[in-house]
A and B are shown apart, each in its own frame.
Chain A
């Protein structure tokens, strides 16, 4: 079983819609969760970090964490064509010495 699983997509949404990206993880004691955006040919860029159950909002982005269900999601409101990228979910276990990344979900926002 993979440590972190994401639907590889591709996910397509129209401009202005809400994009919902999901991630599940296997290590029940994981403490830290991160979302990265990676444009084609570029390196990952940190979008959000979340450590506690519930929602965390930053501009158009909302991260949601449910530790009981081992589930973390990212919502992008008012999606823009510039949001088209691969979104990577990363989980840090309790040991705190490495990130486990999912394979990423490819998002395309259609103008």
Chain B
């Protein structure tokens, strides 16, 4: 079975631009979470979605938004990009919201 897939793998943007990151969960998984990981730190929670509803939101500004589609795939959107948004963005899926999460390979976002 395919694992969590994320696209694109790498992305270069400039300050002020907008970005959309995509994630497809493991088949059968209904919960998707998004994390930001900067070098030398652990992943920081951004959002969790379960059955298309937002179930949790981390301490990130309103420039960050997400949604989950009927097929359980998800998008993370970031507006008005800042240099500090440069990071590895990880998507993780689980059967239910409180189950072990399995991560995709991530999208490495660089802001110039």
Are the C-beta atoms of A98 and B45 separated by less than 8 Å?
yes
Give the A-B pair count, Cβ closer than 8 A. 53
> With an 8 A cutoff between CB atoms, is B13 at the interface?
no
> With an 8 A cutoff between CB atoms, is B42 at the interface?
yes
Are the C-beta atoms of B40 and A98 separated by less than 8 Å?
no
Are the C-beta atoms of A102 and B100 separated by less than 8 Å?
no
Are the C-beta atoms of B90 and A43 separated by less than 8 Å?
yes
Give, as a whole number of angstroms, the nearest-CB distance from B39 to chain A.
Answer: 10
Are the C-beta atoms of A103 and B40 separated by less than 8 Å?
yes
Measured between beta carbons, the chain B residues less than 8 angstroms from A88 are: 42-43
Measured between beta carbons, the chain B residues less than 8 angstroms from A45 are: 103
> With an 8 A cutoff between CB atoms, is B48 at the interface?
yes
Assuming the contacts A43-B106, A96-B97, A96-B98, asked whether A103 and B55 have C-beta atoms less than 8 A apart, the reply is no
> With an 8 A cutoff between CB atoms, is B7 at the interface?
no
Q: What 3 A-B pairs are tightest by C-beta distance, nearest first? A: A97-B56, A101-B42, A96-B98
